[in-house]
Structure 1
Amino acid sequence: MTLADSPPTVAAATLPPLALTEWRNLPAEQQPRWPDASRAARVQDQLALAPALTAPADVRRLASGLAHAGAGRAFLLQAGDCAEPVGAAGLAAVRGKHRVIGRMAEIISGRTRLPAITVGRLAGQYAKPRSRPEETVDGLTLPVYRGDLVNGHAADPAARVPDPRRMLTGYATARAVLNELHLIAHESASALLPPDGSYTTGGAGLPTRAWDGSLRSILKDYGQTATHRDGTWRHTGLWTSHEALVLDYEQALVRRDGHTGEDYLLSTHLPWIGERTRRLDGAHVAFLARLANPVACKIGPGTGPEALTALCARLDPHRRPGRLTLIGRFGAGRVRAELPALVEAVRAAGHDVLWVCDPMHGNTVTTATGVKTRHMSAVLDEITGFFEAMHRADAWPGGVHLEIAGGDVTECLGTGGPAREDGLGRAYRTLCDPRLNDDQALLAASAVSELIAKG
Structure 2
Amino acid sequence: MPFSIRNRSTRMPVPPLLEPVGPADHVPDTQEGEESATGPSAPSWHPPAWRGLPIRQQPQWPDPDEVAAVTDRLALLPALTTPSDVRSVLAALARVQNREAFVLQGGDCAEPLGPAAVTGARDKHRVLGAVAERVSGCLDLPVVTVGRLAGQFAKPRSAAVEEVDGRPLPVFRGLTVNGPEPHEDARTPDPYRMLSGYYTARNVLRELGALAHGTASSFAPRAWDPAAAREVPWNRREEGTPDGSLRSLVHGYGQTRWTEDRGWLHTGLWTSHEALLLDYESPLTRQDPVTGEWFLLSTHLPWIGDRTRHVGDAHVEFLAGIANPVAVKIGPGAEPAEIVRLCERLDPYRRPGRLTLICRLGARGLRGRLPSLVTAVRAAGHPVVWMSDPMHGNTTATGTGVKTRHLKDMLDEVTDFFDVLRGLGEWPGGVHLEAAAAEVTECVGGTRVTCEAELDAAYESLCDPRLNNEQLLAMADMVVKLAV
Scaled to the shorter chain, the TM-score interval is over 0.9
Query: In 1, distance between residues paired with 2:280 and 2:449?
Result: 38
User: 2:217 aligned with 1:190, yes or no?
Assistant: yes
Give how far 1:32 is off.
1.1
Q: Which moved more, 1:302-311 or 1:130-139?
A: 130-139
Match of 2:61 in 1: 34
User: 2:244 aligned with 1:213, yes or no?
Assistant: yes
- Alignment check: 8 A CA contact 2:353 2:384 kept: yes
Q: Which residue, out of 304, 307, 310, partners 2:341?
A: 310
Amino acid at match of 1:164: P
> 1:190 is paired with a residue of what secondary structure?
helix
Question: CA separation of 1:6/1:347 partners in 2, compared to 1, >3 Å: closer, same or farther?
Answer: closer
Query: In 2, distance between residues paired with 1:325 and 1:274?
Result: 12
Query: In 1, distance between residues paired with 2:254 and 2:289?
Result: 24
Give how far 1:417 is off.
3.6
Q: Which consecutive unaligned segments of at least 5 residues does structure 2 have?
A: 1-19, 29-42, 225-237
Query: In 2, distance between residues paired with 1:348 and 1:366?
Result: 39
Query: In 2, distance between residues paired with 1:346 and 1:430?
Result: 35
TM-score (structure 1 length as normaliser): 0.93
Match of 2:465 in 1: 434
Give how far 1:416 is off.
4.3
Aligned residues: 438
Query: In 1, distance between residues paired with 2:374 and 2:322?
Result: 24
Query: In 2, distance between residues paired with 1:6 and 1:115?
Result: 27
Query: In 2, distance between residues paired with 1:322 and 1:440?
Result: 29
Amino acid at match of 1:89: A
- Residues 391-443 of structure 1 deviation map (CA, whole Å, 9 limit, x = unaligned): 12111100100000010100000124411111100100000000000111111
Question: CA separation of 1:235/1:405 partners in 2, compared to 1, >3 Å: closer, same or farther?
Answer: same
Match of 1:204 in 2: none
Give how far 1:236 is off.
0.3
User: 2:125 aligned with 1:125, yes or no?
Assistant: no
Match of 2:72 in 1: 45
Query: In 2, distance between residues paired with 1:323 and 1:11?
Result: 20
Give how far 1:9 is off.
3.1
Q: Which residue, out of 366, 377, 384, partners 1:353?
A: 384
- Residues 342-399 of structure 1 deviation map (CA, whole Å, 9 limit, x = unaligned): 1110010010000000000000000000000000000100000000010121111001
Query: In 1, distance between residues paired with 2:110 and 2:458?
Result: 16
Match of 1:96 in 2: 123
User: 2:444 aligned with 1:413, yes or no?
Assistant: yes
Query: In 1, distance between residues paired with 2:449 and 2:163?
Result: 26
Give how far 1:37 is off.
0.3
Match of 1:232 in 2: 263
Match of 1:295 in 2: 326
User: 2:97 aligned with 1:70, yes or no?
Assistant: yes
Question: CA separation of 1:167/1:270 partners in 2, compared to 1, >3 Å: closer, same or farther?
Answer: same
- Residues 113-166 of structure 1 deviation map (CA, whole Å, 9 limit, x = unaligned): 010000000100000000011223455432100000100111121000000000
Match of 1:148 in 2: 175
User: 2:24 aligned with 1:8, yes or no?
Assistant: yes
Query: In 2, distance between residues paired with 1:361 and 1:392?
Result: 24
Q: Which residue, out of 392, 402, 405, partners 1:374?
A: 405
Amino acid at match of 1:11: V
Give how far 1:17 is off.
8.2
Question: CA separation of 1:209/1:17 partners in 2, compared to 1, >3 Å: closer, same or farther?
Answer: farther
Q: Which residue, out of 20, 26, 34, partners 2:47?
A: 20
User: 2:455 aligned with 1:424, yes or no?
Assistant: yes
- Alignment check: 8 A CA contact 2:45 2:321 kept: no
User: 2:290 aligned with 1:263, yes or no?
Assistant: no
